[in-house]
Chains A and B, each alone.
Chain A
Amino acid sequence: MKVRLTSLLVGAIALFTATIASAQPSQLNLTRGATDISRQVYDLHMLVFYICVAIGVVVFSVMFISIVLHRKSRGVKPAKFHDNVKVEIAWTVIPFLILIGMAVPATITLIKMDDTSESDLSVLITGSQWRWHYSYLDYDVEYLSNLATPREQIYGRLPRTENYLLEVDRPLVIPTGKKVRFLITSDDVIHSWWVPEFAVKKDANPGYINEAWTRVDEPGIFRGQCAELCGRDHGFMPIVVIAKEPADFEEWIRGEEQRLADRRAEEERLLSMEMDKDELMRIGQQVHLSQCAACHQPNGQGIPGVFPAVAGSDVALNDRARHIEVIVNGVAGSAMQSFRNNLSMSEIAAVVTYQRNAWGNDTGDVVQAADIHNHIQGNQ
């Protein structure tokens, strides 16, 4: 019995250690990260960790010795002592001093982390179920950043690739060597913007703005995730940040500004153009799958009691104006957000057309960008 238990124990521990030992260091410990602050945080982590290990070793050794030596089966007689003021004072004061030793560097680092003054660049980060919205306050650039991992990988119909769940369609881009200030907020529930390599984790609170900052030394790609439970797809809300040399960054952001301007011009042009129904359905399906399916599901059935079905719904079958309204302005006090700033008018037109003609919603309606434009104008 004893032997079997022991061998079981040894086997389990061996297996355990083998797996742990075979893992990469980055899979086991905090990252040192890519910034001065993140390295300070890492050093602090290791300091505190070693202190804890030391305390643990001392306490457990005493216990272990006592378990080995002071057992009745060895015929020892128990001592009778039950108090010792000196010892008790010592083990109150010494831990206290150790704690002060940890508190000092922690305080210094914290004060640095909280100092967001004198930044070179500000980015407004807005969380919403379940994507990030980046907006450069010093430039005319803003865009959404969505999970790029296809559903087929999540549901195992395609092999999973290297950056599974940690890849987005449009990463945040920041310049190296510059102090970048993040202003973090949310459109709906609380999210938390976390990039381990920057040691930045800040909650995105709806209606309030939090600040954080980073200064990245070297160009690179950094990946993180939303860290606060934010509903169904909390696990599918990654963050990717690309740090570029300032010159490359400048080039990139000018290009983005140009692209956005072109897009607006294209919008204007499309307003006067009719798209054919197949084209609308095709774009609409893409928009639905990338923007709406997390809640309303790819088949439009929604999740009963949580997200309403669009397939067969009264709005989608009968109330075209309401359908547009819901997407353009959202439904106050619900997870249905406004898509006016996130989608172009032609995309909204396409998704409305798609939803009114897919999954047995055979209204035959065709909605054009101009209709969306009129709806918005009519509202104002």
Chain B
Amino acid sequence: MSTITDTHSAPAAHDDHDHHDHKPTGIKRWLFTTNHKDIGTMYLWFSFAMFLLGGSMALMIRAELFQPGMQIIDPHFFNQMTTMHGVIMVFGAVMPAFVGLANWMIPMMIGAPDMALPRMNNWSFWILPFAFLILLSTFFMPGGAPAFGWTFYAPLSTTYSTDSTALFVFAMHIMGMSSIMGAINVIVTIMNMRAPGMNYMKMPLFVWTWFITAFLLIAVMPVLAGVVTMVLTDKYFGTSFFDAAGGGDPVLFQHLFWFFGHPEVYIMILPSFGIVSAIIPAFARKPLFGYASMVYATSAIAGLSFLVWAHHMFTTGMPTFASLFFMYMTMLIAVPTGVKIFNWVTTMWRGAMTFETPMLFSIAFVVLFTIGGLSGVMLAITPVDYQYHDTYFVVAHFHYVLVSGAVFSILAAAYYWLPKWSGVMYDDFLSKMHFWCSLISVNILFFPMHFVGLAGMPRRIPDYALQFADINAIVSVGGFLFGFSQLIFLAVVVKCALKKGEPAPAKPWEGAEGLEWTVPSPAPYHTFDVPPKV
């Protein structure tokens, strides 16, 4: 206890990190590390492993859906696949990737020596693998893994679920704790450890967007914890929060879940906005257009995200005025989101652009995220949402924002900062292959889903009517192409990790701005022991 207080009571002012200057080797280095760079690296590797795992489940789904009829897996196992794919991608791939980036970059961007709470940082990473081990172990239970969708609607997840639910709840609690700890760390770091002169309106947008994201996390993760606990007690301890027979209401579950769930989707996209806002100016060699409006727009989106949750629930039978309220609020969110897109486009306008891989992914992000945003506006219109809801149109929408949105931005970030992390330039040819393969396949994969959705194919079904056959075949081909394209990325990263490549200068990108480029590449184990002047 005492070490924690005396080391970090005033972290920004002191410079007493020498106690962990020695860097242990082997497994212990990783187990006991409190270094933000090590922890960031672990988060990123973990997330990539989960991405491949969740991706292979998606491919299992796509293999079954390649043709009408049941060929490969049983419907119950199919439901386990969709559920685990969703949970793993959201909580195992995208969120940890952002936390990893936050760990690596926030201290370096604000000129801090480390995260404010390094031991907690170690914890918040190390409980994650256990959460996922618990979750994955449910595959070996009788009845298999959870099969109620990542949204785990009651009573499918309570009365009608198998005993894997208990472990699912436990795993969700651990993931939630990890996220909350990570978020506290980000907030405390940003509020207390900025280098002198780095006032709030000088912070890079990645720091800003993460700052806001962290508040969202602290606000909604407890709601998730609450709702999974209610599922647990409904199933095992005789409560009836979600059971009409005992005076409860199954729709209450959905309100609670989406009160968490909608801000959650912004948790998965706000840091992307920050990343793209760093990369586009760097390769357009022109300052970001509308920095202040970016900050306000992000805050507006975060605030509004608490007022739109029921747009996922239009068909549950809400009163008309409630539907209208949530429709208007949801449409309103399009305004600040539009501002951001216009800002990026205007940043490119009359710049002097070059198209290195991070820029390619960022441009693809802007285009494809916009497509996802526009289909989001369509989904906001309640009367037509009655037709879109729970069809493949929705699956297309959220994959455009999550895969070609969040995931593309993470890939852009990885290429942008890989030279800083590893000290070598990534393999340019492979990286371009990776980009073009991903770009083409992601559209073969998700674009036609809009059409089958409109034509009436519900989501979460293992078999479908014959008129959906052609498009599903295309989609499945796209799925496999996209999945295997990601192996190219694995090759790129492994090459960098093995230091195979040209040595990277401190600032490999001509137009890049920010403190992270003032330290050598690879970034030394400890940076900014003495705060820089801004």
A interface residues with partner B (beta carbon < 8 Å): 1, 5, 8-9, 12, 16, 19-20, 22-24, 26-31, 40-41, 44-45, 48-49, 52, 55-56, 59-60, 62-63, 66-67, 70-73, 76-84, 87-88, 91-92, 95-96, 99, 102-103, 106-107, 109-111, 113-114, 129, 153-156, 160, 162-166, 188-190, 192, 194, 196, 199-203, 205-208, 210-211, 224-236, 303-306, 333-335
Given that A305-B141, A334-B159, A335-B160 are contacting pairs, would A19 and B342 also be in contact in the complex, using a CB cutoff of 8 Å? no
Contact B317 A103 (CB under 8 A): no
Query: Taking the nearest CB of chain A, how far is it from the CB of B320, in angstroms?
Result: 4
Q: How far apart sit A203 and B250, CA to CA, in the bound complex (Å)?
A: 11
Contact B463 A154 (CB under 8 A): yes
Contact A70 B348 (CB under 8 A): yes
Chain A residues closer than 8 Å to B334, beta-carbon distance: 95, 99
Contact A66 B348 (CB under 8 A): yes
Chain A residues closer than 8 Å to B354, beta-carbon distance: 71-73
- Stretch of B44-52, B176-184, B264-272, B287-295 contacting A (4+ beta carbons < 8 Å): B287-295
Q: How far apart sit A26 and B328, CA to CA, in the bound complex (Å)?
A: 30
Contact A16 B70 (CB under 8 A): no
| Binary CB contact string for chain B from 70 to 109 against chain A (1 if under 8 A, 0 otherwise) | 1100011001000000000000000000000000000000
Q: Can you spell out 7 A-B residue pairs with CB atoms less than 8 angstroms apart? A: A70-B352, A72-B352, A91-B342, A92-B335, A129-B160, A205-B251, A306-B144
Contact B155 A188 (CB under 8 A): yes
Query: Taking the nearest CB of chain B, how far is it from the CB of A107, in angstroms?
Result: 6
Tell me what chain B mostly uses at the interface: helix, strand, loop, or mixed.
Answer: helix
Contact A52 B143 (CB under 8 A): no
Chain B residues closer than 8 Å to A76, beta-carbon distance: 350-352
Apart from A164-B465, A202-B317, 7 more pairs, CB < 8 Å: A9-B436, A48-B381, A110-B382, A114-B320, A129-B160, A227-B389, A235-B458
Query: Taking the nearest CB of chain B, how far is it from the CB of A262, in angstroms?
Result: 35
B474 within 8 A of A: yes
- Stretch of B365-373, B406-414, B417-425, B518-526 contacting A (4+ beta carbons < 8 Å): B365-373
Contact A81 B289 (CB under 8 A): yes
Query: Taking the nearest CB of chain B, how far is it from the CB of A169, in angstroms?
Result: 17
Contact B353 A201 (CB under 8 A): no
Contact B387 A52 (CB under 8 A): no
Contact A99 B335 (CB under 8 A): yes
Contact B332 A99 (CB under 8 A): yes
Contact A111 B332 (CB under 8 A): no
Contact B285 A29 (CB under 8 A): no
| Binary CB contact string for chain B from 488 to 503 against chain A (1 if under 8 A, 0 otherwise) | 0000000000000000
Given that A40-B383, A66-B345, A110-B323 are contacting pairs, would A210 and B250 also be in contact in the complex, using a CB cutoff of 8 Å? no
Contact A29 B455 (CB under 8 A): yes
Q: Which residue of B lies closest to A185 (CB)?
A: B244
Contact B156 A229 (CB under 8 A): yes
Q: How far apart sit A190 and B149, CA to CA, in the bound complex (Å)?
A: 13
Given that A91-B338, A206-B155 are contacting pairs, would A23 and B143 also be in contact in the complex, using a CB cutoff of 8 Å? no
B130 within 8 A of A: no
B4 within 8 A of A: no
| Binary CB contact string for chain B from 282 to 304 against chain A (1 if under 8 A, 0 otherwise) | 00111111111100000000000
Given that A27-B471, A201-B386, A207-B250 are contacting pairs, would A52 and B374 also be in contact in the complex, using a CB cutoff of 8 Å? yes
B529 within 8 A of A: no
Contact A77 B345 (CB under 8 A): no
Q: How far apart sit A84 and B386, CA to CA, in the bound complex (Å)?
A: 40
Q: How far apart sit A235 and B174, CA to CA, in the bound complex (Å)?
A: 33
Contact B317 A62 (CB under 8 A): no
Given that A20-B448, A156-B69 are contacting pairs, would A48 and B377 also be in contact in the complex, using a CB cutoff of 8 Å? yes
Q: How far apart sit A371 and B153, CA to CA, in the bound complex (Å)?
A: 40
Contact A63 B353 (CB under 8 A): no
Q: How far apart sit A5 and B339, CA to CA, in the bound complex (Å)?
A: 34
B375 within 8 A of A: yes
Contact B142 A44 (CB under 8 A): no
Contact B69 A70 (CB under 8 A): no
B31 within 8 A of A: no
Query: Taking the nearest CB of chain A, how far is it from the CB of B376, in angstroms?
Result: 10
Q: How far apart sit A162 and B68, CA to CA, in the bound complex (Å)?
A: 12
Contact A106 B454 (CB under 8 A): no
B528 within 8 A of A: no
Partner pick for B458 among A9, A102, A207, A226, CB 8 A cutoff: A226
Contact B386 A113 (CB under 8 A): yes
Q: How far apart sit A66 and B142, CA to CA, in the bound complex (Å)?
A: 58
Contact A71 B289 (CB under 8 A): no
Q: Which residue of A lies closest to B243 (CB)?
A: A207
